[in-house]
């Protein structure tokens, strides 16, 4: 098989790109990473050449081309069943998929009001309106699963998996904007942000020279 190519956006800003990148790293899949700079005049054409949806992440695995972060994570899980990217137990697996799907499809206000920006730290903020409701829901999901899976490890279902890849960008948003969290949610964020694959993504993000003024000034 030729080496799969994962197209990603800027590591500082592209929360969707981070998710499959983390999953592929955790699974030990050998892949080539190609970064398409977002918010540049050539961005749209460059992404259109590799993604029918016009978004990154996108995967080119030879005969197979994918343009959705969750689908790419599922591909990684199929490629490396022994990496346990989903919990082994069927009930836990269903719940983990449920929690990942909630993030994939929802929490739009949280994402809009608190965009991912790994280099940034603001004064502590309070969320308002729909974003505050999103945070209440995210942290309720986290507490429910952490309370039940505490003995199995520090991640949502014990061991790190795709569901944790989906919530890692949220943990960075809480840190960037100093949003106050309950103790259980804070401990989960700390575990996500200490995971070696995330640390290595973040190191590369901090070295990027590009700035998106709109996001940086929000
Ligand atoms: N549902 C898609 C969302 C991907 C997405 O919105 N990606 C953003 C970057 S984080 C993008 O490519 N935007 C196009 C652009 O900025 O030109 C997924 O799960 O992969």
Cα 22 from Cα 148, distance rounded (Å): 24
| pLDDT interval class at 217 (50, 70, 90) | confident
Q: Check residue 129 and give its pLDDT.
A: 98
Cα 192 from Cα 48, distance rounded (Å): 32
Give nearest CA residue, ligand 1 atom 11.
55
- What domains, with CATH codes, occur in the chain? 5-83 (3.40.30.10), 90-200 (1.20.1050.10)
Residue 83 Cα, ligand 1 centroid: separation in angstroms? 26
Atom number, ligand 1, closest to the C-alpha of residue 70: 19
Q: Check residue 213 and give its pLDDT.
A: 83
pLDDT digits (tens, 9 = 90+) for 148-197: 999 999 999 999 999 999 999 999 999 999 999 999 999 999 999 999 99
For the cut 80, the answer to whether the pLDDT of residue 1 exceeds it is no
Residue 91 Cα, ligand 1 centroid: separation in angstroms? 30
Atom number, ligand 1, closest to the C-alpha of residue 56: 12
Residue 94 Cα, ligand 1 centroid: separation in angstroms? 26
| CB of 148 closer than 8 Å to CB of 158 | no
Give this prediction's pTM. Answer: 0.96
pLDDT digits (tens, 9 = 90+) for 119-145: 999 999 999 999 999 999 999 999 999
């Amino acid at each position: 098989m030729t080496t799969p190519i994962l197209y990603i956006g800027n590591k500082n800003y592209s929360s969707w790109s981070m998710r499959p990148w983390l999953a592929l790293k955790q699974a030990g899949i050998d892949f080539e990473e190609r970064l398409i700079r977002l918010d540049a005049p050539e961005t749209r054409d460059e992404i259109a050449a590799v993604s029918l949806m016009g978004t990154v992440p996108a995967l080119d695995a030879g005969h197979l081309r994918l343009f959705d972060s969750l689908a790419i994570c599922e591909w990684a899980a199929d490629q490396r069943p022994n990496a346990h990217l989903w919990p082994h137990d069927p009930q836990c697996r269903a719940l983990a998929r449920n929690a990942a799907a909630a993030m994939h499809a929802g929490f739009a206000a949280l994402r809009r009001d608190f965009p991912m920006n790994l280099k940034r730290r603001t004064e502590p903020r309070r969320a308002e309106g729909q974003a505050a409701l999103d945070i209440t829901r995210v942290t309720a999901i986290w507490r429910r699963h952490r309370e039940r899976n505490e003995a199995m490890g520090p991640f949502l279902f014990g061991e790190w998996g795709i569901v944790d890849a989906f919530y890692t960008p949220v943990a960075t948003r809480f840190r960037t904007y100093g949003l106050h969290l309950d103790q259980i949610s804070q401990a989960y964020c700390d575990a996500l942000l200490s995971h070696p694959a995330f640390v290595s993504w973040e190191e590369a993000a901090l070295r990027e020279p590009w700035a998106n003024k709109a996001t940086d000034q929000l």
